[in-house]
């Protein structure tokens, strides 16, 4: 897992290695699983409407599959340029 911007700040870490059960099939389910681990993480990830994700560096919606994914990132909407 990679976290960026205020997601990183609220999670208190920029990255971690995770091993979710096979029943966690989508990005949305993964966020639920991450949040369920710890109260602080639940608070950090509470604002689902402002969470964006990438699976193996491809931008995806929360409904996207994470099957076989090696790198998943969570972050706020982008504000570049």
Partner 1 sequence: MNAAPIRVAVQREGIDLAAETLLIEATDAGAIATFTGLVRADDGVATLELEHYPGATEAALRQVAEGAVARWSLAAVTIVHRVGPMQPGERIVFVAAAAAHRGAALEACAYLIDRLKTDAPFWKRETRGDTATWVEPRDTDHAAAARWE
Residue 65 interacts with partner 1 (CB under 8 A)? no
Structure tokens at 35: 């949040």
| Closer of 21 and 80 to partner 1 (Cβ) | 80
Minimum CB–partner distance for residue 76 and partner 1 (Å): 6
Residue 5 interacts with partner 1 (CB under 8 A)? yes
- Binding segment (CB under 8 A) for partner 1, from list 3-11, 15-23, 25-33, 39-47: 3-11
- Where b means 16+ CB within 10 Å and e means fewer, 21-45 reads eeebebbbbbbeebbeeeeebeebb
């Amino acid at each position: 897992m990679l976290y960026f911007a205020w997601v990183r700040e609220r999670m208190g870490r920029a990255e971690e290695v995770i091993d979710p059960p096979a029943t966690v099939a989508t990005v949305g389910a993964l966020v639920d699983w991450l949040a369920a681990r710890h109260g602080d993480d639940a608070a950090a990830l509470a604002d689902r409407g402002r969470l964006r994700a990438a699976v193996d560096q491809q931008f995806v919606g929360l409904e996207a599959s994470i099957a076989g994914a090696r790198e998943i990132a969570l972050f706020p909407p982008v504000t570049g340029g």
